[in-house]
Amino acid sequence: MLSATALPYLQRAYELDRALNAQPPLPGVVLGYDLGYAHLLLGDYDAADQLFAEAEAGSARYPELAGLKPRIASHRAEILRARGDAGRARPLLGDALALQRAAGDRQGEVVTLQRLARTELDLGRAEDALVLARQAVALAEQGRYMAELRDGLYLLADAATAAGDRDAAGGYATRARDMTRAHDREITGRTLAQMQAQAQQGLAPDAVAARERTMRSDWLRNGALAVLAVLATGALWLWLRGRRRERALAVLGDTDPLTGLPNRRGADAVLQALAVQGSGRAAVLLLDIDGFKGINDGFGHDVGDCALAAVAGCLRAASDADDLVARWGGEEFLVVRGRTTQAAAFALADHLRRQVAQLRVEDGRGGALPLTVSVGAASLPLLPGGAGGWRETVRAADRALYVAKRAGRNAWAGLWGLDAGTHVDAFSVLDNPVQALAQGWIAIDGNRPMDWSQARPKAGKAHGRDNASQRSTDAATG
């Protein structure tokens, strides 16, 4: 964590500088500012505010640090907002914004605009927050400040939600998630291994202590300015490196290393967020590679891995940019499309089925693998009005997938909840889809005649990955 990486180094350098200098030199002022910012990120507002006040006074002695003043003003105003004093923070942020615009500090301007937007939200002014958030996003796009752009899109989603525009909020949140996923895909296990190896090359504690004693002696004899500058730079580098490592670890924890898609854990988080947004109906599709066990057994796991990667790439290319495409487990994939209709969802199921059927993946013997998928689709929420959470929708998609599997390979089946005009619970639908269809609670469809009377997976089989082997057996014998 940040407190375990940057803070000790920054704190140590800061204490050495203050012990050696009655008035901190220019590098020492920057060092105090950096330490204050670290405390701000950690939520230690008292320490942060004290360090910012000190840095503000110190920067007045150095004209080259004039650019710090508006950033410090923005940080201190943000501390007020975080402490619940949005009324006092608002004019201070406005003053800081004017100074940053005059100085041409575009990145600082983006951050301050975001803070102003948050302040307006705190004050219950959602429309004003939307205006400021849009300005921040536009500036971030112009300057290609990607981290600020992602933050700004999430802020826009919050502001749109507060303004009552849930459709727009869902769009902003989806775009932010897509940016995050695109960034995540650039991080690989090799990068993480390299960073871990670098971290292990640090000096032993005894060596660190001996080096510090030598450096202290040198500073007292020859002066500390140059060394402090290097130390401050090194502390910042360690901080940034630690943050990159944390981000890489978090990303790898949500990403399937074979396909580069989000894994089940990452997909769960998106499904939860989508269910909470409540912006219309979404579609959840589960796709299972037909006869995958036979591919692994007949051609080897390396060829099986190639098949998985090829299907993953096909699904990503055949889906919209805003769709979630994830590896759900084993040979099973998940596709989620927000704000859609029954007809569009079922058309997507058939489209993805057809695209996979056209794939050509070498079998290692001069031929091509017989790749097809079966697809189950369901609505999220399962029934209009929010009846049933996202887990019920996934169970419904799994039931539909089971029906498609029993109907033979290369098939899709869909279940879509309808407005029945009465209270209908999700359990009744999942327990007996045929009765639910007769009652007018759901619509079902598929690319061929299917038997929904056996829609319940066999007893003893858990949902998800554990069903995969049973489906493969059904497909091999069907």
- Say what the pLDDT of residue 146 is: 86
What is the DSSP-derived secondary structure letter of residue 255? Answer: B
Identify whether residues 159 and 37 lie together within a single domain.
yes
CA distance readout (Å), 58 to 7, 27, 451: 21, 10, 78
Identify whether residues 240 and 306 lie together within a single domain.
no
CA distance readout (Å), 27 to 9, 34, 421: 15, 10, 70
Within a domain: residue 471? yes
Within a domain: residue 314? yes
What is the DSSP-derived secondary structure letter of residue 452? Answer: G
What residue type is assigned to position 410 of the chain? N
Kindly give, in sequence order, each residue whose CB lies less than 8 Å from that of residue 429, ignoring residues fewer than 6 positions away. 382, 383, 388, 396, 415, 417, 436, 441, 442
* Degrees to nearest 5, angle at CA 246 with 245 and 249: 85
Residues 152 and 136 sit within 8 Å (Cβ to Cβ): yes
**Could you give the number of structural domains in the chain?**
2
Identify whether residues 9 and 34 lie together within a single domain.
yes
End of a domain among 250, 285, 304? 250
End of a domain among 215, 250, 285? 250
* Degrees to nearest 5, angle at CA 338 with 334 and 341: 105
Identify whether residues 211 and 128 lie together within a single domain.
yes
- Say what the pLDDT of residue 63 is: 84
Identify whether residues 121 and 158 lie together within a single domain.
yes
Task: Give the CATH number, domain containing residue 414.
Answer: 3.30.70.270
- Say what the pLDDT of residue 400 is: 95
Identify whether residues 141 and 15 lie together within a single domain.
yes
Within a domain: residue 465? yes
Identify whether residues 302 and 324 lie together within a single domain.
yes
In angstroms, the CA 189 to CA 115 distance is: 35
Task: Give the CATH number, domain containing residue 244.
Answer: 1.25.40.10
Rg, Å, the chain Cα set: 28
In angstroms, the CA 243 to CA 4 distance is: 10
- Say what the pLDDT of residue 342 is: 93
With 0-12 CB in 10 A as exposed, 13-18 as middle and 19+ as buried, what is 211?
Answer: exposed
Within a domain: residue 12? yes
Within a domain: residue 255? no
Residue with tokens 């701000």: 40
Within a domain: residue 256? no
In the structure encoding, which two tokens stand for residue 447, read together?
């690319």
Q: What is the mean pLDDT of each run of 10 residues along the chain (478 residues)?
A: 57 84 85 87 87 90 86 94 92 92 89 94 91 91 86 87 83 79 54 46 50 53 49 52 47 74 86 68 95 92 92 93 91 93 94 94 88 96 77 93 93 90 75 88 92 63 40 38
Identify whether residues 9 and 44 lie together within a single domain.
yes
Within a domain: residue 257? no
In angstroms, the CA 252 to CA 262 distance is: 9
End of a domain among 216, 250, 284? 250
- Say what the pLDDT of residue 475 is: 38
CA distance readout (Å), 428 to 404, 443, 459: 21, 14, 18
Domain span holding position 346: 264-477
Residue 203 neighbours by CB distance under 10 Å: 10
Identify whether residues 228 and 274 lie together within a single domain.
no
In angstroms, the CA 162 to CA 193 distance is: 42
Q: What is the pTM of this model?
A: 0.48
Within a domain: residue 258? no
- Say what the pLDDT of residue 184 is: 55
In the structure encoding, which two tokens stand for residue 47, read together?
């320490």
Q: Calculate the CA dihedral of residues 330, 331, 332, 337 and round it to 10 degrees.
A: 120
Residue with tokens 């505010």: 49
Identify whether residues 199 and 83 lie together within a single domain.
yes
Identify whether residues 246 and 280 lie together within a single domain.
no
Residues 99 and 69 sit within 8 Å (Cβ to Cβ): yes
Identify whether residues 362 and 228 lie together within a single domain.
no
